[in-house]
Each structure stands twice: as structure tokens, then as C-alpha cells.
Amino acid sequence: MERIGILLPRQTILEFAENVLKQEGIEVQILKVVENANAVVEAQEALAAGVRIIIARGLQATLIKENTNIPVVEMPVTIREIGMMILKAKRMLKKEHPMIGIVAFKNMFDNLDHLEELFDFHLRFYELNALEETRMKVSQAITDGVDLIIGGVKANQTAFEIGFPSLFVETGEESIRHALGMAIHMIDLARMEKQSEAQIETLLDTSFSGIIKINAYKEIVAVNRVIEQMMGKPADQVVGFPIDKVIKGIDTEGIEGILRGTDELYSTSFSIRDQPLMVVGAPIQYDGHFSGAILTCHKMKAAEGRNSEMPGTKLATGYIASRNFTHILRQSPEMKRCIKLARSYAISKSPVMIWAETGTEKEVLAEAIHNNSPQKGGPFLNINCGSLSPQEQREVIFGFSEESRKGAWERAAYGTVLLQEVDRLSMETQYLLYKAVHDRLFWCNDSMVKRALPVRLIVTTSKELTVLVKEGLFREDLYFLLSSLKIEIPSLRRTAEDIPRLVKLYLERFNGAYSRYVEISREALKAMEEYFWEGNLLQLEVFCERLILTAHRRKVEEGMVRNLLQELYPLIREQDGRAQTVLLKNPEAVRIAGLLDQYQGNRTMVAEELKISTTTLWRKMKRYGIGSKYEL
């Protein structure tokens, strides 16, 4: 039995397929009629059942290709089969030279050239880009004066409802036989590529994509020609090298997961020579041991209709989406999980929501998603909703209708729009955004019009939108549209293990910028690790700059850090209706500070009061950062 699935839109085509299979003596794994809406689900279920190649036609073939990684063989109608439909139409109409309109997806036909001369009729072809266009195209054909419409199920239903002559685009035995032969040939080619039983399941789906084989040490063992072409290097220049040294920015954590056997399947995205790739990995297993992995690389389909000469990711305003996942500074396990999720979302065209506090790397993450997506070659527009009034939000995003000035949504066609602080959008703009993303409808001249503007939307927020939805401040439909692909960037206080590395990076930067050579003690670093950092990386960065600029010794001690933290970010509380600054939080520190004030800074008297030595007092003052006032 061949591991082929045949999915068809109509029972009559299935009967033709059964005849062909019987004549050829071939058994396939799946043969069934499916509805367009279920085509992707049926294909995924077929894959899970062991099918390795799908035969489909028209819209169903397109949907399966766009939403799965399953190889698809299409069944375009042949010239002979089209000719039979034309002759049938002539008999129905009783006209020698009728005008016939074909309303269908282009991939349903092998070739439409010279049909008019061959079969003596007038042809009008109305190409569908989406099933929703069918009714409009049928109406247009009738307005143009066609005598009969040839199309798929939807076109025939539409024509039947208004009593207009129509014929179904019938796929005959010739098309089915041709598609079946091609599918068997593809499987035979895939079988020839396999060098061992351990690689069969991995390579069946990927013989027409880039293949990288690595060993248990993450070293490249083999690559195919597709990968050589992608990298611009022959195999002998990459084989034997660690994959992360050859392909910069690849997710090595995910690869380690499949090599350890903790993950059965791994998918991510990265770029080779500015080409965004979707990558699927699976382990190679011998006798219960994982000896390596196969990575299959698929080029991401560029956003539909994009001009190939579009100048990179540069905005009209000069903003460039230049950063990638490698520019993210934090490396904690929680942050790595966040990046792994973002890599997975990058290959989708659906909206992404980034939940993050102030000062986190949300903009970097948004740029990285864009630069690993099908929209990579298009514009990247960054808009902060919180800085705009409701009127400005509508105008900046959707355009100035009175002045015919384009908004961000139109300028970002085939690219990405980043809306920061999406929770600050007015209810009117929320409605317009929902219609633009979900329905591709835009407000124009007092009505909603449909426009094909393929734009990827990324939004950021620091608010819990479910609360705003309950309070009636955020649209429920927009929330569900945005939240399905949600990423939560952890706060710095949740990943305190990142702080030492960040402090080192910042100190090196500012030491170099100001020609200084300041170090930080272990105790001082510990004090920084224990701090709350409400402003996250931004707050930590500017704090390190201030530390370098004002350090009066080569080595920064704990006291200076705590003192500066207290000076820059004092704790404020309300007392007797007035804001009061809480200088110290530790009870012992409060007592020492009070005694120093009482004895006008006389350390000997304070030490006697506390029954400790002056040396111990000095150390405690240094620890709590209360030394500057008393010349520590």
C-alpha cells in the first residue's frame, strides 16, 4: 500500500479516482471526499496516520500547502478535460460561439492558452484569490455578458441560486492518473535518498527541502545541495563543524532537547544569508540511543505580492528593524523559553501579543520576530499608542482621509506593524484594528471597504487585558484575536541570574565610554541582585552608568550601591496625607542612622550604645549605604 492520501471535493471525482486505482492496481492509504473548511484538519490527520504525500486540487491543495508541511501533488484539469467541458457547455447553450466564464483558482488548470482557437468559443477567466471572492466574481462574469459559468462548488452554488447556467470543473481520470504517477515517483525518490531505516520517517517529508544531519555533539555530518545553495558554501566547508558556528543564531537549546530525547519534534526559525527559514528537527535513534538529528529547512514563502525590489526593512522615517534573537541580552532558562516560543510564532502570519514590563527587551523581540518571518523583506513600523490621542491613533495607523495621506497600515503592506501599549487604544481604533486584521475591512468614505493589505501585527502591553475587557475598556473580540499567540517576557526580578552578566556588560561599556577602570565587589553585586528593578534592564543600565560616573574608588563596594539605590529610587509612602520618603528599610539600619543623628556622627558613642566595636559599626554603615552623610 502506498502511503498516499487523496482528498477530493466531490463524490464524482472520487469515483474517477477509484477507477484509476483499480485499473493501475494501486492501493492508497486514504481516499475520501472532504469539505474545503476541513481540508487542513483532514491532511493533518492523514499525516498522523502515516500518509506522506497528499493529492488534492484547487483551493484544498492551496490550503494544505499554506498550513502544513506535507508535500502536496496537485491535480490541475488537463486541456482535454477542459475541452470536454466546453463541448458540453455548447450543447447546453445550443450556441456555436458562446462566451464562457471560468471562475476558479488558477492552480485548478494546467494551461488555458489557445483554448479559444482550439474549441471555437470566447473565454473570460476570473481568477479567485480567496473563496470569499466567488460571489463577486460570478456577478462580474454575468455583468460582462458570459453565457455560462464553469467553476468549483461555490461558483456553481452561487450561479444556481440566481438561476444562471453553470458547469462544475470536473477532474477526470487523466488528471488523477497523472497526479498519482507523480506522487508515486516522489515517494520512490524519497526512498532512494534514505541511507538507513532510522532516517526514513525523517526524510520522507523533506527530500525536496534543505537537509542537515548532525551527530550527538551537534557537529554537521552531512548537508544536501539545497543547503549548500542556501549557505553559498560546498559541503566540505561545513561538515565537521559545530552547527552553531556555521549557522549563527540557530536555537542550540532546542537542538539539545531532541538530542537528549526530551523533545520528539523541534521546530523553530532562523536565517541563512538573510533568507528566513522554517526548521523542523527530529532525532535519529539506534537501539534506544540518540545518535544525532535531522534538521529540515523550508524557505518561508514571502508575503503575497511583495515587490522583490523593496528596500529591506527600512522605514520611510528611517527606522530599521535591524535586531535579531542574538541581540537579546538575557540568557536565563525562562528567557530562553520565551525566545523559543517567539521563534515558533515568527513563521506564522497571525498577530503576536508581547506582554512585558517597562525596560524589558520587547522591541528587540518584536524586531527579531519580524526578521525571522515571511514579512522580513517588508517595512517594519513602530508606533507607541500611549503617546497619541484617539484621533491621532486613527490617523497614524489608518491614514488621514481628508488629506489622502497613507497611514502605517498601508505603508507597512507586506511587512509588520508594531503597536506598543495597545491597551491605550481608543474603543474606536480598537474596532478599526479588529476589522483590518480579521476581515481586511477599512473605513473609507463613510463605509467599510475590503482591501488586501497583508500586514503582520505585533502588539505590546504591560496591562492585563482580561481585566480591561471585564471593565469594558478593551474589546473582547480584539483581545481573543491578539492573545492566541502570546509571549510573556519575564521581569528582571524573576530572572535574577541574568543580573551579574548584564552588570558586567554595562560596566564594560561605560568604563570604555568614559575611560574609567571601575570594578564592583562581590557584596555590591549581591546587593544589585537582591534589588527589585522595577524598570528592568533600562533601570539597571542607567544605574550602572551613574555608578561609573560617580565612583570615587577603583572598586565599588556594597555601601555605595545601596546608598545610590536609596538616592535614586527612594521608597515613598503616604503618612498623614503627605508623601514621605522612607530612607532605610532595614530595622538595624534605621537604628544606626538614628543614633548617628543623635550623636552628630560620633561613631565611638554610637558603637558604645550598640555594644559593638567601631570597626563593626563601620562595616554595618558600609553595608547599609548610610556612610555618605557621615564621611564613610
From 170, 195, 213, the end of a domain falls on: 170
Judgement on whether residues 230 and 103 belong to the same structural domain of the protein = no
Judgement on whether residues 474 and 518 belong to the same structural domain of the protein = no
**Running DSSP on this structure, what letter comes out for residue 235?**
G
pLDDT computed for residue 315 by the predictor: 38
Beta 486-488 vs 352-355: how paired, if at all? parallel
pTM: 0.55
Judgement on whether residues 477 and 518 belong to the same structural domain of the protein = no
Number of domains making up the chain? 5
Q: What contacts 82, CB < 8 A, 6 or more positions away? A: 109, 112, 115
pLDDT computed for residue 190 by the predictor: 66
Cβ of 620: how many Cβ atoms within 10 Å?
A: 19
Domain of 291, in residue numbers: 205-299
Distance (Å, whole) CA 15 – CA 249? 51
Rg (CA), the chain: 33
Strand partners for 5: 30, 54
Distance (Å, whole) CA 167 – CA 430? 44
Judgement on whether residues 519 and 575 belong to the same structural domain of the protein = yes
pLDDT computed for residue 586 by the predictor: 62
Judgement on whether residues 12 and 60 belong to the same structural domain of the protein = yes
Distance (Å, whole) CA 383 – CA 381? 6
| Amino acid making up residue 618 | W
Judgement on whether residues 279 and 237 belong to the same structural domain of the protein = yes
Judgement on whether residues 67 and 125 belong to the same structural domain of the protein = no
pLDDT computed for residue 317 by the predictor: 42
Cβ of 371: how many Cβ atoms within 10 Å?
A: 26
Judgement on whether residues 474 and 356 belong to the same structural domain of the protein = yes
pLDDT computed for residue 573 by the predictor: 52
CB 358 within 8 A of CB 540: no
pLDDT computed for residue 366 by the predictor: 95
Q: Which residues of the chain have pLDDT under 70?
A: 1, 190-208, 264-265, 286-288, 301-320, 400-404, 444-447, 571-587, 623-625, 627-632
The CATH number for 6's domain is 3.40.50.2300
Cell of 288: 534506544
Judgement on whether residues 461 and 361 belong to the same structural domain of the protein = yes
**Closest by Cα among 596, 604, 598, 599 to 629:** 596
Q: What contacts 339, CB < 8 A, 6 or more positions away? A: 251, 325, 328, 365, 368
Tell me the CA distances in angstroms from 137 to 121, 173, 305, 534, one per residue in order: 20, 29, 20, 56
**Closest by Cα among 228, 225, 229, 233 to 207:** 225
pLDDT computed for residue 24 by the predictor: 86
Q: What contacts 26, CB < 8 A, 6 or more positions away? A: 2, 180, 184
Axis-axis angle for helices 427-434, 476-483 (nearest 10): 50
Beta 441-444 vs 447-450: how paired, if at all? antiparallel
Domain-embedded: residue 498: no
SS3 content of the chain, % helix, strand, coil (to 5): 45, 20, 30
